Amino acid sequence: MTARRLSARWLLPADRPAVEHGALLIGPDGRIAAVGPEPDVPRPAGVALEDFGDAVLLPGLINTHTHLELTGLEGEPPGHDFADWIRRLREAKAARAPEAYLDAARRGLADCLAAGVTTVADTGDSGAVIQALAEAGGSGIAYQEVFGPHPDQREASLAALRQRVEHLRRFVTERVRIGVSPHAPYSVSGPLYAATSEWARREALPVAVHLAESPAESALLERGTGPFSEAWRGRGIPLPLPPGRTPVAWLEEHGVLSDRTLCIHVVQAGPGDVARLARTGASVAHCPLSNRAHGHGAAPLGAFLAAGIRVGLGTDSTVSVGRLDLLAEARAARVLGGLDAARALALCTLEGARALGLEAEIGSLAPGKWGDCAVIRPPHGAAGAPPEEQVLASGPRDVLATFLGGRNVHRTSRVP
């Protein structure tokens, strides 16, 4: 790998204040060797030098929730009947040829890199995303989904999951990890949750769960009513017992929540649920635009942050939001949480890394971390604003270049 030195009008390290006229030196091992004001960063002989002018240089963005294998399935807007949307999505997935999932994952990953995203936390059941990540020399966690709402499916579902994970381990690299995802309370029984979580602990695998996303999910667990309950009854599936639990409380009782658990969405969460998440050390993947598109409501982002819960931002799938734009998610989170620009941007850099337990490796521009970074040209009208505001005002079309471990994995034809 070739060492390189990058510089720009602004450098945002993420773990300390912005640096005007900053530079970044990435060594041949793909890790950051030096970072800081332009005069303080060495210019070793033979190292490629690149100055991006008035652009902003910042850590590669971290998308804590994607479904890249669903790329290309987007169509009509989701609407507010979530149970019906889930049914239609299952039908669309069943109609997709197996080989199409890998093509979709590759396209989705390319779109992420073009938007300045260098690490993804993806959930899916085809195995395509971990293969796409490995092929591209990418960075991320691929959570293999498991389903089984009937308690009698526990052993068969767990056995299939274990076999699938062992098959996919060949794609694991220093930067590509595998995890498991017992999908959601409306698609996984309590016994399967408990068994999967126990196996994941023994194997030291990270866990991701869709949790407390919709009112229909809460109705299933708290009252045994609503569209998911009706669907379960129609299929002869016993309702979750005991009733009267929130989704967060129900998962805690089944041993799912820990500091290795990423809870996705968590919209329907009260003060007791926030306290449970904080107590167990679980983190949250906050997807404000997907939550809005489905009409689920607004997650209590401010309460999460006040409780010290680790929170990152996710886009969810293109089926939900149409386009994977993590900075648009940051703008939405900023409004929802009453955040300043730096805190909002941190949710998709250093705080996103912390949500995934990867802060020692990525999330900020610091010596020893991977040389993951994005270069963003301020959009028209934002050039005079503070650099954090410039980045938040931008979108995928403003990303000039993306570097992953020092490799140039995306570059626009636009002149900086």
* Sequential DSSP letters for 371-402: --EEEEPPPTT-TTS-HHHHHHT--GGGEEEE
Helices (H) and strands (E) in the chain, counts: 16, 16
Report d(CA 267, CA 275) in Å as an integer. 14
Contact 189, 153 (CB under 8 A): yes
Residue 158 half-sphere exposure toward CB, CA atoms < 13 A: 18
Q: Domain locations in the chain?
A: 4-59+364-411, 61-355
From residue 150, give the alpha-carbon distance in Å to each of 21, 125, 362. 59, 19, 39
Per-residue pLDDT at 75 exceeds 90: no
Per-residue pLDDT at 409 exceeds 70: yes
Q: How much is the pLDDT for 74? A: 83
Report d(CA 319, CA 71) in Å as an integer. 7
Topology of the domain comprising 61-355: TIM Barrel (3.20.20)
For the segment 167-204, what is each residue's pLDDT rounded down to a tens digit?
A: 999 999 999 999 999 999 999 999 999 999 999 999 99
Tokens of 36: 């800081």
From residue 364, give the alpha-carbon distance in Å to each of 12, 132, 398. 8, 25, 20
With a pLDDT cut of 90, the percent of the chain lying above it is 89
Q: Which of 270, 314, 322, 313 is nearest to 293 (CA)?
A: 322
For the segment 297-350, what is each residue's pLDDT rounded down to a tens digit?
A: 999 999 999 999 999 999 999 999 999 999 999 999 999 999 999 999 999 999
Contact 263, 304 (CB under 8 A): no
Per-residue pLDDT at 77 exceeds 70: no
Report d(CA 158, CA 230) in Å as an integer. 25
Report d(CA 363, CA 353) in Å as an integer. 5
For the segment 128-171, what is each residue's pLDDT rounded down to a tens digit?
A: 999 999 999 999 999 999 999 999 999 999 999 999 999 999 99
Tokens of 318: 């293109």
Specify the CATH architecture of the domain 4-59+364-411: Roll (2.30)
Mean pLDDT for 279-291 is 98
Mean pLDDT for 65-86 is 86
Query: 415 pLDDT band (50/70/90 cuts)?
Result: very low
For the segment 218-265, what is each residue's pLDDT rounded down to a tens digit?
A: 999 999 999 999 999 999 999 988 889 999 999 999 999 999 999 999
Q: How much is the pLDDT for 329? A: 98
Tokens of 23: 């530079």
Q: What are phi and psi of 44, to 5 degrees?
A: -60, 150
Q: How much is the pLDDT for 363? A: 98
For the segment 381-398, what is each residue's pLDDT rounded down to a tens digit?
A: 777 899 999 999 999 999
Mean pLDDT for 399-412 is 97
* Three-state SS annotation for 194-230: HHHHHHHHHHCCCEEEEECCCHHHHHHHHCCCHHHHH
Tokens of 345: 């941007």
